[in-house]
Structure 1
Amino acid sequence: MASTISVAQNQAYWIHTDQVKPSKQAEYEQVSKDFVEACKKHDLKGADWSVAHSNDGNYVSISPVENWAAFDKNPLAPLMEKMGEEKFRALFARFNECYDKHGDAIIYLNSDLSYMPNGLTTNTVGEDYRKWHYLYVTPRNSAKLRAKIKEIKDLYEKKGAKEHFRIYHSGFGNMDEYFLVSISAKDAQSYEKTSDETEALLGEEGKKLMNEMFVLLDRYESKTGKMRPDLGYVAKL
């Protein structure tokens, strides 16, 4: 319960993940584009999302959650009404041909732990490449890990590091607890260059903090990917 309270003041995001079959990725992207076009054609309101494609084949739709009341309504109901139920269901039947597994969860963007000196934002224009570090933790070490991430952020600030990051914390719908470090870059080469420069800048103090952080983890995973603006949707005001 303490974990839930501590993130309540941070922005929540509804994460929907489609585990797309390797042979169906082109088809999935075409259906996604047709879906976005239908939303634009019928001027769907109150349903904004961005899409990330990770190197493991997952397509992740990310929608900000304004409040818990948002879960009481179906944001796509107006689209089905305008399209007609038959066309609407046919569109989603095409989606279902592309994967056997998909699911939903909530994560929270943690402003206190994130390091973006120019202002906290998820919309990093010109930097669609992503590096994601998943820091899995058991409940007994959660508070310790949070404190250690804060120490690392403080060192970034003190040194004026050019590598910026956002920290997300898992919410309901996730069996395992984790902190997610999301780093934006122009491309893989830019990420590697900035990462190497940051490591050198932080020096031995940085290595020490990182080692202390990894001791607290239950396990660690990393993924790469990119944002796909062509598959996302922003409702017109």
Structure 2
Amino acid sequence: MRTLKTTLIIVLALLAVPCISQEDSKSQAFWVHEDVVKPSMISEYETVCKELTDAMKTHNIQEMNSIVANLSDNRYLWVGPIENMAQLDKPLFATLAEKMGADKMGGLFDRMDKCYDIEQNYIIHLDKELSYMPGGITQTPEGQDYRKFHYFHYTPGNRAIVKKKVEDIKNLFTNKGSKLDYRVYRSGFGTRGEFYMVAIAAKDAADYANKISANNELMGEEWLKTYTDFTSTLEKYEAFEGNMRPDMAYAPGE
């Protein structure tokens, strides 16, 4: 098997770890695998992924639990929590290979390999203290599959001041009683440069726009000043639209 097969196997197995399992922990590490799918191969890629999901359902694979997101720039993200790097050394997907046949499973990954030329892997950390979700942190709010991912890049020399500005933003949200939830992730091993990624969930793009508008009105001029102070410390800002893909996800018993 080529790199993708090995990596995807690792990522899917890592997703078996209960998401955000350590409630008393300040952060949770996540392994991220990205496939940058060729525009002409999106349909085939998704077909293969769904066939893989169906195979796991058919054989009732217990050790797998996967979620998938795709971004507007044709990136597909496989994301799973890890407790330590030692998890990456465990033999994986053995049960599925045994039940469906190694050749058949390998054939799925062979087809998937043809759908992209670029893949990358890295670790990010969900920062629970900097995130704002008063009702409890979850990566998959029910009925809200739309995502807006905001990437705030900064230089190592500005690390401390940027963190302070992120704390100021959460404090403002808390004091104003904002209804706009967000999760904050820090860059980790394997990422290019340092950044905070802020993920915001909504029903769709229109719902997201309405949430932002309502929040801006609630926060007033104090928000504009706080956000401007924050962005003045940054090196670069990027934003990407995306969607969670429950049709490509898998959880035992579902």
Instruction: State the TM-score, normalized to the length of structure 1.
Output: 0.92
Deviations 1:144-199 (A, max 9, x none): 11111111011001111111100001111112111000000011111101101111
Bigger drift between 36-45 and 164-173 goes to 36-45
105, 108, 112: which is aligned to 2:122? 105
TM-fit CA distance, 1:14: 1.2
CA distance in 2, matches of 1:219, 1:170: 14
CA contact (8 A) 2:37 2:76 kept: yes
What's the CA shift for 1:9?
4.2
Q: Does 1:117 align with 2:137?
A: no
Report which stretch shifted further, 95-104 or 67-76: 67-76
Does structure 1 residue 195 correspond to structure 2 residue 226?
Answer: no
> Does the CA-based 8 Å contact 2:185-2:197 persist in structure 1?
yes
The structure 1 residue matched to 2:248, chosen from 218, 231, 235, is 231
Give the counterpart of 2:63 among 46, 68, 72: 46
User: 2:54 aligned with 1:31, yes or no?
Assistant: no
Cα distance between partner residues in 2 of 1:160 and 1:197: 12
- The correspondence of residues 1-237 of structure 1 with structure 2, limited to 5 A, is 9-236=26-253
Q: Deviations over 1:49-100 (max 9, x none)?
A: 2111111011111112133331121332322232222112111001011101
> Cα distance, 1:117 vs. partner?
0.9
RMSD: 1.5
Q: Could you say what secondary structure the match of 2:65 adopts?
A: coil
TM-score (ref. length: structure 2): 0.86
Look up the equivalent residue of 2:112 and give its one-letter code: F
Preserved contact between residue 49 and residue 64 of structure 1 (Cα < 8 Å)? no
Between the aligned residues of both structures, percent identity stands at 42
Q: How far is the alpha carbon of 1:236 from its aligned partner? A: 4.2
Aligned length: 230
Cα distance in 2, alignment partners of residues 74 and 211 from structure 1: 48
AA of the residue aligned to 2:113: N
Tell whether the 8 Å contact from 2:26 to 2:129 is kept in structure 1 after alignment.
no
| SS of equivalent residue, structure 1 residue 120 | coil
Residues in 2 aligned to 1:74 and 1:144: alpha-carbon distance in whole angstroms: 42
- Provide, for residues 12-44 of structure 1, a one-character-per-residue CA deviation record: whole Å limited to 9, x for no partner: 111111100111111111100000111122222
Distance 2:186 2:252 in 1: 27
Specify the code of the residue in structure 2 equivalent to 1:29.
Answer: E
Q: 1-side partners of 2:31 and 2:62: how far apart? A: 17
In the TM superposition, structure 1's runs of 4+ consecutive aligned residues that sit over 6 Å from their partners are: none
Conserved in 1, the CA contact under 8 Å of 2:45 and 2:112? yes
Q: Distance in 1 between matches of 2:167 and 2:35?
A: 32
- Secondary structure of the 2:238 match is strand
Q: How many Å separate the matches in 2 of 1:45 and 1:12?
A: 22
Unaligned runs of 5+ in 2: 1-24
